[in-house]
Amino acid sequence: MQFTAEQIAGFVQGKVEGNPATVVNQLSKIEEGKQGSLSFLANPKYNQFLYSTDSSIVIINETMTLEKPVNATLIRVKDAYTAFAMVLTAYQQTKEANRKGISEKAHIDPSATIGNNCYIGEFVFIGSGAVVGDNTRIFPQAFIGENVKIGTNCLIHPAVKILDESIIGNHCTFHSGVVIGSDGFGFAPQQEGDFQKVPQIGNVIIEDWVELGANTTIDRATMGSTILRRGVKLDNLCQIAHNVEVGENTVMAAQSGVAGSTKIGKNCMIGGQVAINGHITIANGVKLAAKTGVSNSIKKENDIQMGIPSFDQKKFVQSFVIFKQLPDLAKKLHALEKDFKSKNAENQTE
């Protein structure tokens, strides 16, 4: 495939600066650019590479001021990162456009319903009563349980497990190893010291445009539903427990976990390795720094917290400044204590 600067600019609603007929046929990072490749520049840390790259076309922010001439043809846009994401999406869709058809090695129950233009790879299992929407692609070794509903234009990567009764919206992407609808962690302590398993008879509901990273797990509800609202994005190795609800457009970085029955608001941003207690609520727009431990509800919208247990970010930073000074403060305190005892002893001898 080949595209000109003029064609790309039209696609990303940008303005060409240089030769509009410049042609590219591949993508590359700006620091590794080659002739015939398209790159982008959004992070100022990489500005230096704009003047040395061999990339033929570079997408940059319209506000960027050049320090010296560049060899590449430029495409100026409002947001270079978003524009390049659009290009990557189109590239991926074009690359996968030929993945259609149902493999003879897939098992599809006769009662299941498969939409138009779907791709079902080798060794996929689709159970009784399942529904797969139009243009959905399911890669090899995925498991789709009984009465699962999957919407249109979804992408199910290899070895994903979507267990019975789960409901999936449109335009969802699940990366390899995702498990949706496994049992919630429910055990009732017994007088003898052992535990009685509590059956998990609910399900999982995932709305449109949700993306789940590799090996992320979403547990089914004890009763009712575990719910991920529209636009939720979870990184790799995240854990969402039974009866949790995650609000619209909330994002969560890798290795974070949410305990049972917690309700997280919309537009929240949760860093890596964050632990959130069960049976609490997180308000809309809350931001949690990496490694934060949330033990109580956060009721203030757009609050920023960090630490274990979590509290206001500004207060945490102020406290941490003092914390780093504790060894010196301890030395001063011990010196003052020693001086005080010495002077007190002198006064007593007098």
- Say whether 175 is catalytic: no
Task: Map the chain to HEC letters.
Answer: CCEEHHHHHHHHCCEEECCCCCEECEECCHHHCCCCEEEEECCHHHHHHHHCCCCCEEEEECCCCCCCCCCCEEEEECCHHHHHHHHHHHHHHHHCCCCCEECCCCEECCCCEECCCCEECCCCEECCCCEECCCCEECCCCEECCCCEECCCCEECCCCEECCCCEECCCCEECCCCEEEECCCCEEECCCCCEEECCCCCEEEECCCCEECCCCEEECCCCCEEEECCCCEECCCCEECCCCEECCCCEECCCCEECCCCEECCCCEECCCCEECCCCEECCCCEECCCCEECCCECCCCCEEECCCCEEHHHHHHHHHHHHCHHHHHHHHHHHHHHHHHHHHHHHHC
Catalytic residue among 157, 171, 175, 242: 242
Residues annotated as catalytic are 242
